[in-house]
Structure 1
Amino acid sequence: MSMMQSGKITLSSDKPTEKKGGQTSTFRRVDFPTPFPSGSEVIVQTTVQTFNGPQTPGVRLHDVNEKGFLIRMNEVYSSDSGTADGLHTEEVIGWTAYTV
């Protein structure tokens, strides 16, 4: 039997784009309202719910487990320069977590 939880978080990015895998010091922890059962395989899907900044934001996840996950927003594309510096204004990110 699969289980599901959902929520939203407000994020911004005032740090440069993370370019080294596993570097999570600028990520924020999200704890599930109710932890999933021990040993569950959990997946998390995210969607940007707002359009506050003109550049395209991206969302990175790490350490998804039964208790929660780490999340960070990176700016992925800037129409001004064609590249992104990672900085982005505040956006609301919706998330849904499932067991599989």
Structure 2
Amino acid sequence: MFQTGVVALDSKNPVETRSGNTSTFTQVTFPAAFPEGSSVIVVPFVQTFNGSDTPGLRIAEVTTTGFKIRINELHAVGKVTSDGTHTTETIGWIASTV
């Protein structure tokens, strides 16, 4: 079973550097819940090029009913390389059971 969707996503927050902090993530709900007990995978893709900084995507808390997502601009080797704010991009996603 596959499900797809799109979400308009931006970032008004600094780059998140604390593992597990999902307070600035956006909740996405699947059109229909996957069967209880399923292992669900989500693959997101940026569909637009509205901002010049690279809009890294982070996914968290994937369940049978949805997931959390945010744009988290580049943070590599312990260094924040952007301010974290990002204009609205269209994010397409595909979800499926394993």
TM superposition score normalised by structure 1: 0.90
The correspondence for 1:43, drawn from 41, 44, 59, is: 41
Q: CA offset at residue 85 of structure 1?
A: 1.7
Unaligned ranges ≥5, structure 2 = none
Task: Count how many residue pairs are aligned between Structure 1 and Structure 2.
Answer: 94
Superposition pairs of residues 1-80 of structure 1, within 5 angstroms: 3-76=1-74
The CA deviation at 1:52 is 0.4
Counterpart secondary structure, 1:55: coil
Distance 2:17 2:54 in 1: 17
Which aligned segments of 4 or more residues in structure 1 are displaced greater than 4 angstroms? none
TM-score calculated relative to the size of structure 2:
0.92
Q: Percent identity?
A: 54
1:60-95 superposed Cα distances (whole Å, 9 cap, x missing partner):
000001000000011227xxxx92121111100000
Unaligned stretches of 5+ residues in structure 1: none
TM-superposition CA deviations, 1:42-69 (whole Å, max 9, x none): 0000000000011111100000010000
Which amino acid in 2 is paired with 1:46? P
Partners in 2 of 1:95 and 1:86 — Cα distance?
22
